[in-house]
Chains A and B, each alone.
Chain A
Amino acid sequence: MKKIFLSEDEIPRKWYNIAADLPQPMRPPLGPDGNPVSPDMLAPVFPMNLIEQEVSTERWIDIPDEILQILYRWRPSPLVRAYALEEALGTPAKIYYKNESVSPAGSHKPNTAVAQAWYNKQFGIEKLTTETGAGQWGSALSFSCALVGLECKVYMVRISFDQKPFRKMMMETWGGNCVASPSNETNAGRAVLAKDANTPGSLGIAISEAIEAAVTDEKGKTRYALGSVLNHVCTHQTIIGLEAKKQLEKVGIKKPDIVIGCAGGGSNFAGISFPFILDKINGADIEIIPVEPASCPTMTKGKFLYDNGDIAQMTPLLPMHTLGNTFIPEPIHAGGLRYHGMAPLVSACVEQGLASPQALHQLECFAGAILFAKTEGIIPAPETSHAIASVIREANKAKEEGKEKTILFNFSGHGLMDLVGYEKYLNGELHDYDLPQSVIDENLKALEGLPKPEAY
């Protein structure tokens, strides 16, 4: 069977909250004053019903029927057996992917955008604000607000606003109000523009603007929505893995051997993996792999090399090109996985040995994406290509070992809005840089004894 469907009445009716089952519970983070920052202190930007989910340690959280009615537009999403990819690889592995690109916005993001919009509406909120870079989250929230009946204001980083007009048009088609950030509409935006009218903006500025717009609404009817990182966002995404479990059972698979998802802020990885991490906590032998870019690692070597390091003590750190005063390096591609923070729940899974992160180079990822497109037909988002490359590695390993493993991964989104990366890859304009293992080992050794960070 190529595609495994669930009927609408088979859709999961509860989200899974992994906070209930982590062997070591999450601790509240400390603020600058040394006191814990609790989620209720975020009430000016989030409605209390979502804050309750954020702090919940209940294992299962009911999905309101009104949310399901909206999700039925594309959910349950199909689980697809990648026969053609398996054949191309000559692997005995069975490869299944959860196709989240079928959502109207083209990615997994609407799973939480719909839920967040609905809970805000229930709380009496009339307008949501958010920030967006490439526009995937902004378009998902605009779509969701249109269906729920909320105004949506999106602060889009100016450099992306100028370079990626189609996402902006998607937002506006769904009724969202998308403005370039920094804007003249907030104190934060005006302050930046006063210093430099031609600034390209940044996600940090866009977040400041979105938060300010929510906090300063005189009517108190505006809140802010975040597309990744937070606990409730990860929980909303678990519908992906919960559906996949049911779908695998339909073809007689009690458990996959390997579960893979790409990880930037962590929500799509959380969505596919958390329901299977529950099984792992309960003794199932499942390998769980979050995949990140080797060029900007958060969970793997970069974390230990860079977040703890005292630069002065670590020189010569890396045998790189000598940088002269006039040297201007080539630009880098800032894809969705170069996110500035990892979901604490995902970090906890890594720290507690429940997930084993991988870091992959962009050329391997694009090669995997091209093979996937030529065999399975769908052009993956650059982020998704990281999961695919990891799947190919594991499928090849299964071939070498002669094992018929079942590999499940999250096809988190299509790449039809992100074709520039493909153009550069096909034109041979992308390059990988690799650190010798000896250098990595040397630097890791230098960090022995330093405290391990609590949050990624």
Chain B
Amino acid sequence: MLGHEISFSYCRTTHNDKLCKKIRDCWFDKIDIDGFLKEHYGQDQIQKITQPSGHKYVSLFSLIEQAKKAKEENQSEK
């Protein structure tokens, strides 16, 4: 998707310091990724990335709602 090399740290901080949902799929054959996650992350954080991926409609709808909310907040500040 990015077309070049990425580091392990990139996958751990890919969105506002959150774990990338694919981190286990992408690193399971290189390192003991589960051992690392258990050592460094809470169960709730790990649970988030082990849930089945959601439908694209759901993530797009969520982003639309976020953008609308941000727009409303901006307008009320003005």
Residues of A at under 8 Å CB distance from B? Answer: 28-32, 37-39, 41-42, 44-45, 133-136, 157, 159-160, 163-164, 187-188, 191-192, 195, 199-200, 202-205, 207-208, 211-212, 214-216, 226, 229-230, 264, 294-298, 302, 305-312, 314-315, 317-318, 320-323, 327-341, 344, 382, 417-418, 420, 433-435, 453-456
Contacts and interface: CB of A to CB of B under 8 A. Distances in A.
**Chain B CB within 10 Å — which of A41, A45, A195, A332 has the most?**
A332
Contacts of A295: 26, 29
A163 B4 contact: yes
A389 to B, nearest CB: 17
Interface string B56-74: 1110111110111011001
Given A29-B57, A134-B4, A215-B64, 14 more contacts: A45-B60, A159-B4, A187-B74, A211-B64, A214-B67, A297-B25, A309-B50, A311-B46, A315-B34, A317-B28, A318-B34, A328-B9, A340-B1, A453-B52
B2 A157 contact: yes
Contact of B3 (A160, A226, A307): A160
B70 A187 contact: yes
A202 B18 CA distance: 11
- Say whether chain A's binding surface is mostly helix, strand, loop, or mixed: loop
A140 B24 CA distance: 31
Contacts of B51: 307
Given A207-B63, A211-B60, A230-B56, A195 B16 contact: yes
Contact of A320 (B4, B32, B50): B32
A45 B7 CA distance: 32
A191 B70 CA distance: 11
B42 interface: no
Contact of A435 (B2, B29, B46): B29
User: Helix, strand, loop or mixed for chain B's interface?
Assistant: helix
Interface residues of B, number: 55
Given A230-B56, A455-B52, A335 B63 contact: no
Contacts of A45: 60, 64
Given A311-B46, A331-B7, A133 B2 contact: yes
Interface string B1-19: 1111111111001111100
Contacts of B55: 29, 37, 344, 455
B76 interface: no
B48 interface: no
A192 B15 CA distance: 8
B30 interface: yes
Contacts of A204: 14-15
B50 A164 contact: no
Contacts of B58: 29-32, 37
7 contacts: A136-B3, A157-B2, A315-B35, A318-B29, A323-B32, A332-B30, A433-B29
A334 B6 contact: yes
Contacts of B38: 311-312, 315
Given A159-B2, A334-B3, A456 B31 contact: no
Given A188-B70, A433-B29, A200 B57 contact: no
Given A200-B10, A420-B4, A329 B22 contact: no
Given A42-B60, A315-B34, A433-B30, A159 B52 contact: no
Contact of A434 (B25, B29, B70): B29
A24 to B, nearest CB: 16
Contacts of A454: 52
A135 B1 CA distance: 9
Closest 8 CB pairs of A and B: A134-B3, A29-B55, A453-B52, A433-B29, A215-B67, A331-B5, A212-B67, A320-B32
